[in-house]
Chains A and B, each alone.
Chain A
Amino acid sequence: MSENNTIGIVAPQTAHFNEPLTLKSGAALSQFDLVYETYGTLNADKSNAVLICHALSGTHHVAGKYSEKDKYPGWWDNLVGPNKPLDTNKFFVIGVNNLGGCHGSSGPVSTNPATGKPWGSEFPIVTVEDWVNSQARLLDQLGITQLAAVIGGSLGGMQALQWTIAYPDRVRHALVIASAPNLTAQNMAFNEVARQAIITDPEFHGGDYYEHGVVPRRGLRIARMLGHITYLSDDAMGEKFGRKLKDSIKYSFDVEFEMESYLRYQGDKFAGEFDANTYLRMTRALDYYDPALAYGGDLSKTLSQVKAKFLVLSFTSDWRFSPARSREIVKALLDNERTVSYAEVTAAHGHDAFLMPDEHYHAILRTYLSNIEVGGNHAK
């Protein structure tokens, strides 16, 4: 649908922060870096900024390519670009790698300024709240007082929601996609299995594997394989692989079914490029996020001070972040008489659907985003 309107070649930037950041856990980062990318042009009154919050394994590299040779563009390239649903002719789009990440922002793989060695196990546990606070610092540095919109899917949707709670005056629109106001026990249970796979890998070394020159590849691989099972629906897996064999039954434990081949490929690929300590922290951030906890579990009270207008989206076959969880957010907004629309998109792909260019899904985003008003001095 939108192949000829890529943002083109992009480059990441790094913002350095010397002011200490106190984390929700009570720990503090005396200084930190955030790596980010921007697409489009910030208008004169800085009213057209859109922040994209990434999910578990996402990065700041949302759209475009670093060089013509790149095999794949950024992770949400189907959404972001000139004349795409999130139109960079209109908006100034920011992608940022979260704290604790492994793509350039301060995290376990980066150097601890106090020791000159990788942080490893010493890097503190970061939360959704901490991420949003650090993102706010980035906006300060960019001179952006208020976002036209904040957008995120899954864990990114939690950040979008948190933005409206923590900084009600700094967000005009929140697009919360395939997300939830907290994780269910079952959802947290998947995270625990993933973490156990990593932590019990003999090469994990309590999180300080860097100094041993190894990585807990096996653990990370299994964690990712498990994740991929939960991101797809039963139907989508059935349709994609069914019981298809690669060759024939060999009465072995080698790769025999197509599904196994897919999971192993995804696991290997991920284990080769992602950091296990980051994975542990991202899943913990998911587990801990529960903004209503401070309000006795009352989400309506939690959202009583939000000012943003909301678009909440879910996907019918998403069982990891089911539509029912999105409806909880919608209900709390309705209870507070906020401006909210909710779409339950019919999609077969499970949780992964939020990253796919489904026509109706993208039409909703395009339509909603095109209605967002941005200030003058910008051709639209």
Chain B
Amino acid sequence: MSKTMTQQEALQEYLLRLADSDMILGQRLCELCGKAPALEEEMALMNVALDLVGQARNWYEYAAELIDDGRSADELAFRRDAHDYRNALMVEQPNGDYAVTMGRQFFFDAWHYFTIAALTKAPDERIASIAAKAAKEVQYHLRRSSEWVKRFGDGTEESHQRMQTAVDDLWRFTGEMIEADEVEQTLFKAGIGPDPEQLVADWKGLVNEVLAEATLTPPPEDAWMYRGAKVGHHTEHLGFILAEMQFLQRAYPDAKTW
């Protein structure tokens, strides 16, 4: 980010981060359609995915208005390439087994929960109202994913092992997700979004509590963290996600309606 980043620029960037993370996680959950381990889970996964894509749409719509360069919410979602996407690295990771799916969801939900809670208090009314609607949804997501982490951790020997592996493998994507950069610092000063230090403390507190209850071992404090999503440097997965998600826009560039 340049030194002259205005609050307006920070806000546009931030809205895209919120929208893109929701969108990409929703997309990952869509991949599981018809493949969930039980019919009840089929319902629940689609429910969470619906919430996330719905939230993404709200954030994209507001972002489109602020960016104001003629692009619609759909164009922001379906016509940007990977280097312009700003989702957390966490959400683009593959579904893996159900322990990975739920571990990824839990790490994200914990961040999402505290972030959305803070955004409900934003002086920007549009943000506050989108966040207020999302808050109830996200609370349910977090309750559900933390329950699954506990079930797996303190379930059978196999599920414990799978969950521990998932936690260990996904851990390296948590650092960037919870740590604020200039964009988040700038917005926090304007009253938008969580206190960066508080967010890290809250997230770690909650995660450690759930992992302990799940009889899982938290990764070491000084574990290496993978970074880059906030400036558009993603893992190799995102390109393939977008190739699929944006297939129709790419194959039919002249189409004005669907």
Are these two chains actual partners, yes or no? no
A interface list, Cβ under 8 A from B:
none
